[in-house]
Amino acid sequence: MDDRSEAPISFASRTLKSCERNYAQIDREALAIVFGLRKYRQYVTGRKVTVYTDHKPLIGLFNSKKTIPEVISPRMLRWSLLLGAHDYQIRYRPGAQMDLADALSRLPQQDSEPDDNTEADDVLMVEGFRRPPLDCKTIAEETEKDPALHQVLLWARHGWPNQVGLAYQEHGKRRH
């Protein structure tokens, strides 16, 4: 959206496992971030992501611009390394301004033990590829080579003209 407004595109929630219920508050808050990035990995990988939290200590702990603290639990170290694979920043937002997330946390699911088979399936699927079929660099290079897509990209970056040629009408319909 051009006006920088925010709109939810998806919601996700899960119930804590019995061992996770014993985590310290900061660990549970960090787990929520890790869960979100894992859940939406296919959408956030390779993109700059802003994560909002109402738990200020996480901002210093998971600051992507700083090194990992020397004194940190093994769990937090693992999570820091996992988060390091993403281009993210964490910002504070008071809980009163995050009512949708708060509502999900207050309505736990009935299933008390989430299914962990999904991650194993994802790992097996990823291991099946020797190299990804396409990567961002290849897509960018091929887009630059294609005259029509190159022109559409320029318009997307610098503004669309009022009238576009017949060859660009389909692209023009999807510009907003």
Ramachandran quadrant class, 46 (left: phi over 0; alpha: psi -120 to 50; beta: rest) = left
Q: Is the pTM of this model over 0.85?
A: no
Domain ranges of the chain: 20-127, 136-173
CA distance 45 to 88: 10
C-alpha distances (whole Å) from 104 to each of 62, 98, 107, 108, 132 are 23, 10, 5, 7, 35
Neighbours of 101 (CB within 10 A): 19
- Cβ atoms of 138 and 132 closer than 8 Å: no
Q: pLDDT 10s per residue in the chain (176 long)?
A: 456 777 777 778 888 899 999 999 999 999 999 999 999 888 888 888 888 888 998 888 888 777 777 788 889 888 988 888 888 889 999 988 877 776 677 666 665 455 554 554 444 444 454 555 677 888 888 888 999 889 988 888 888 888 888 888 777 776 65
